[in-house]
Amino acid sequence: MPEFLASWPFWLVFVFLYLGATLRGQGTYWLGRLVTEQALRHTHPSGGWRLRAHAWLQGEGTARGIAAIRRWGLVVVPFSYLTVGFQTMVNAAAGVLRISWPRYSLAQVPGALAWAAIYSTIGFAVWDAALAAAAGSPWGLAGIAAVAVVIVASVLVRRRHRAPGASPAPAGGPAADLSPARGDAAG
């Protein structure tokens, strides 16, 4: 657990982490919801952060989040808080799909509560123990280096496949149809 939280009473740590999870989820939802229409329908950025935001909203991660919400409905929102990375995709996808704010917020509550419960009890301890074990052993350091090499190699291979010679993405990208499919949990 971060030092500044270690001296706080449990209930205050829990509330702090719950509010942090809720605010992060809401921020990602609203980024997806408010920026999507402007970024995807009305702009064609040529560089900088706008181009990165545009690409992220049309990227594979957001598309996977949209697909998960369309397949499983809003139940995927609280379960996404038990993952790393997928949570952001799902929250952004809920915004991209323009799921109503009250329905999204209600679905988010159990996930943020679970995330706060995990990280205010065992979450940071498990993370710290894994890092300490890895850093205290030559094999642990080799494992960390191997994971870093795999990640860097994966990124480089992906970039090479997206090189100028690669086939272009379909017009509008995976988030081009922003309306939710009929019969889904979106509203």
* Segment 57-84, tens digit of pLDDT: 777 877 787 788 888 888 889 988 888 7
% of residues, the chain, pLDDT over 90: 17
Examine residue 150 and state whether it is found in any structural domain, yes or no. Answer: no
Size of the chain in residues: 187
How far is the C-alpha of 150 from the C-alpha of 180, rounded, in Å? 36
How far from the centroid of its chain's Cα atoms is residue 176's Cα? 20
Question: The whole model's pTM is what?
Answer: 0.57
Task: Kindly state whether residue 185 falls inside one of the protein's structural domains.
Answer: no
Indicate whether 24 belongs to any domain.
yes
Is residue 112 a part of any domain in this protein? yes
Mean pLDDT value across residues 140-154? 73
Q: From residue 22, give the alpha-carbon distance in Å to each of 16, 72, 170.
A: 10, 21, 34
Query: DSSP string covering 61-108, please?
Result: HHHHHHHHHHHHGGGHHHHHTTSSSHHHHHHHHHHHTT--HHHHHHHH
Q: Which of 91, 120, 135, 102 is nearest to 17 (CA)?
A: 120
Instruction: Give a yes or no: residue 138 inside a domain.
Output: no
In a domain, 171, yes or no: no
Helix (H, G, I), strand (E, B) or coil at 164: coil
Distance between alpha carbon 141 and the CA centroid of its chain, in Å?
A: 27
Q: How many domains does the chain have?
A: 1
Return the half-sphere exposure (C-beta side, CA atoms, 13 A cut-off) of residue 62: 25
DSSP 1: -
- Output the pLDDT for position 102: 93
Q: What is the pLDDT of residue 174?
A: 47
**Does residue 37 form part of some domain?**
yes
Around Cβ 76, how many Cβ atoms within 10 Å? Answer: 22
Residue 51 confidence class, pLDDT cut points 50, 70, 90: confident
Give residue 29's domain range. 3-125
State pLDDT tens for residues 126-146. Answer: 666 666 666 666 776 677 677
Over 50: is that where the pLDDT of 181 sits?
no
DSSP 127-160: HHHHHHHHHTSHHHHHHHHHHHHHHHHHHHHHHH
Select from 126, 115, 104 the least CA-distant residue to 18. 115
pLDDT band at 22 (very low <50, low <70, confident <90, very high): very high
pLDDT at 19 over 90: yes
Nearest to 97 by CA among 83, 76, 82: 76
Tell me the per-residue pLDDT of 84-123, one tens digit each, with 9 for 90 and over.
778 888 998 898 888 889 999 999 999 999 988 888 887 6
Mean pLDDT of 154-179: 57
| pLDDT for 106 | 95
For residue 178, is it within any domain?
no
Q: Write down the mean pLDDT value for the chain.
A: 76
